[in-house]
Amino acid sequence: MPKASWSPPDISQAGVTLETFILEGMFQVPGATGTFTSLLNQVALAAKLITGRVRRAGLADVLGFTGDTNIQGENVQKLDVIANGTMIASLKRRGHCAALASEELQNPVFFPHATGGYLVVTDPLDGSSNIDVDISIGTIFGILRYDRTEGPPTEQSFLRTGRELVCAGYCIYGSSTVLMLTTGRGVHGFTWDPSAGEFFLSHENVRCPEKGNTYSINEGNSARWDDKVRRWNAFIKEPNKQDERPYTHRYVGSLVADAHRTLLRGGIFAYPPDTKSPEGKLRLLYEANPTAFIFEAAGGKASTGSAPILDVEPTELHARVPLIVGSKTDVETFERFMAE
Ligand code: AFP
């Protein structure tokens, strides 16, 4: 009989909850007041509540459209509204978040009674078109510090580069629910255990592989790409054993899912500009910046094709940007084609 390769997990390693992990991080910061820790816990609470709604969606009459369109001109799904409302309610509660900018709302939501100095940017439910067909979706968020001595925040307060994020993360509602998080030093992942009602540390100090062999792009847009993107796309599919070409193609159509796979396995995700979306399709503040912040913290790279995403100066709340993220080598190869 073949020897079993599985042995029971080391029970002594179980039990680092997200809350414990965040608290222990706070204890390492001299003078920390607990505000940031508490804010992060509220973001995690929203993720817990949203995962509950997502998991029961087919039973709770929350699938399908509301009949409205959002600021992006997209049809709003019932779960989009629920996720957005959950995020707002959760962040309003403790008064650490002074204002929130969301994909779902034309203008930021201001919390006038807040005393804390943080701003949150979020896509509360990314990948909406996948909701009704049970494909992975997620929540993306980023946290910026806000100097309260400057008076109440305005829309302008959000228009800062991704370098100024103090924290970014996403929660993927996939085959399991996983929350990935970074404050810039290391990326860590926590898996939701519904029986315990807790997120437990499951991916410690994630590093994006230096190079992968998977590419992720909406190939249906190829007629709209420019020649440089087409040349890169042809290159990635050319056979060449030395650098593992042709790459395998994977595309979910939820940024969270495509980014999560790319972060863990390596390779590249690209949403370049095309004739339909000349500025790119993805939103800078609450999709591209948090994703870029995570990839950089994990040793990967995030680019517009010619410059780091984190250096892009936002011109408006819902600005769009080309987004190329993944393994350092793979993103550099893409940039080389764009520079030719
Ligand atoms: P939806 O939330 O409208 O489904 O958009 C998802 C998204 O913003 C991002 O999550 C995907 O990576 C990208 O759009 C997919 O866009 P295409 O459908 O054009 O490939």
Q: What is the pLDDT of residues 174-233, one digit of tens each?
A: 999 999 999 988 999 999 999 999 999 999 999 999 999 999 999 999 999 999 999 999
**Which residue's C-alpha comes closest to atom 15 of ligand 1?**
253
Residue located nearest, by CA, to atom 6 of ligand 1: 127
- For residue 178, what is the enclosing H or E element? strand 177-182
Specify the ligand 1 atom closest to the Cα of 220. Answer: 20
Mean pLDDT, residues 257-269 taken together:
98
**What are the beta bridge partners of residue 179?**
171, 190
Name residue 321's beta-bridge partners: 282
Give residue-wise pLDDT tens across range 314-336. 999 999 999 999 999 999 999 99
Count of residues making up the chain: 340
**Residue 140 near residue 122 (C-beta atoms within 8 A):** yes
> Measured from the CA of 137, which atom of ligand 1 is nearest?
10
Q: What is the chain's mean pLDDT, rounded? A: 92
Q: What is the pTM of this model?
A: 0.94
